[in-house]
Structure 1
Amino acid sequence: MKEAMATPNKQGGGTWKKLKSQWTLQLMILPCIAFLIVFAYIPLAGNIIAFQNFKITSGFTGSEFVGLSHFAEMLRDPTFHQAMKNTVLLSLLYLLVVFPMPLLFALLINEIPFRRFRKLVQTTSYLPHFIAFAMVASMWIILLDPKGLVNETMQLLHLIRHPIEFWTEPGLFRPLSTLISIWKETGWGAIIFLAAIAGIQPDLYEAAMIDGAGRIKRILHITLPNLIPLFAMLFILKAGTLFTGNLDHSILLGNSFNKDTSYVIEYYSLQMGLELTRYSYATAVSSFQALMSLLLVLFANWFSGRVSGNRLF
């Protein structure tokens, strides 16, 4: 019993000794901790204005407390409901279509037998990620213009008789936004999966080949099972973005013609806060987004644990 009681003290002393021996490394992390406290945690106190009729001249303490009135107004606003619907639909498309693409792309790259060609494909696929989205949006708007390359080519091939108005048709915005996200982020997102594949023991593949397993069977029974924990972790993190939408796409690719499908909740909050100077209302909208994102992350973590046995926390 004395030995059992002595063990925690010994472990605690070992932890303290380890911290003392690494004091220089601990000091290096202090600026990062200070940055998080100053720019991430302290600003959370400003969310109190969501429950006030905030006025800059009165400040946090002098503004009138209105309780949940801004949240009630938000839930009654049809524009908010439209923005929420667009946000959820776009995020679902991203989660179901764009999110798995890096995994599939990594599997394809890993099966390329020629090393130089594989490196060329990898490097080429990374490039779109480093292009600013303002340039990406301009490029795609020009390409899909009625007089752009895509329409001209389709007309020359007699696939269409009249140019397609890609950016004025509300029903085309979601597929185009999804396509652009796939083109821009698939190569970059595949890096983490390629790193995980490189960490799989080669002995497993060699044993499978000796047993007569082909490429498909090796992928299904070796590669994918080893990638499930990583995929589950990324899924949990991505689930929290379901209520955030994509502001860049909404602003740069959206217009008055496709607003019915391109107007997302972040754009709505931005307009309420900066254009109409309704700071309290915009904060209430952002607080609602944060709460829903938190609940989704918790649910995704629970669901992943029940289905695959892999949880983030």
Structure 2
Amino acid sequence: MYTAPLRRLPFLLLALGLSALAAEERPLLSLQPTAAHPGDPVLVTVRGLTQVPTGSLGERPLRFYPTREGFQALTGLPVEQTPGAVPVKVSVPATGEAAPTELTGSLAVVPPGWPERKLKVANKFTTPQPPPEVQARQEADKAAFATAFAQSFVSPLFAENFAWPRQVTITAPFGDLRTFNGKKQSQHYGTDLRGAVGEPVYAANAGTVVMTREAYASGNTVLVYHGAGLYTAYFHLSATDVKDGQRVERGQLLGKVGSTGRVTGPHLHWGVKVDDMWVDGETLLKLDFGTGAPAVTQRDKP
């Protein structure tokens, strides 16, 4: 299996202004990525705290989990995020003789520059009012996805950074603006990876399979929950090799590339969802969770 070059994403260290503490004792707040696009996942790391903090990125609350050196929270920016500075705030209330701690900073959000694509699909996928049987199937799919994405928040189920489910050319990146048959416009909330029917698809990291389903739009689908409010999705498979509730490890076979559901041809649509929003999987792969395994980057582009 092809292995891409490895690289670590540098941390952005923020000035804390805690003059009451010695420099070597000051908590450190860091953000990944250092400059984000709308639709990016964002990893907030705090080192030097022993109490679980609370915090926010913009107006979005952060949910922290413990790490070996402090605490982390994983969230994201919506695709509608306006470019500019987004404030970050982390705080710990006073306890006993310990004074309250507050860490502040900001995340620079830059314009996304979404590409636009014009696609043709079967007319049954673009009709404004699908027949009743299709509507019923879509509603059932919607309910199944909602149940799968409603897992309890727990600490990460993985001990390594994330890896590509397939090391191949990206045929459509996250964020593409799409027009179907010249009529219906949407945005691409995943990363499409080239593949022929039957080629393997691997788990991007360790976690628990929370859904395997043949869905109307996404075809044969596998959803994996990784803890920390983070899910990965694998769409349009020709076959699946896992079951609901199964524990999987990074690099484990999940299924095979296919062309099921709403597609123009065989490929893997790989999606990443965090904090109840779809985010860019390429950015997730660049995040260093401090697990000791280097973050990775895709080399081949369209």
TM category, shorter: under 0.3
Greater Rg over alpha carbons, structure? 1
Structure number with higher helix proportion: 1
TM-score, structure 2 as length reference: 0.22
TM-score, structure 1 as length reference: 0.21
Structure with more contact order per residue of length (Cα contacts < 8 Å, sep ≥ 6):
1
Structure number with higher strand proportion: 2
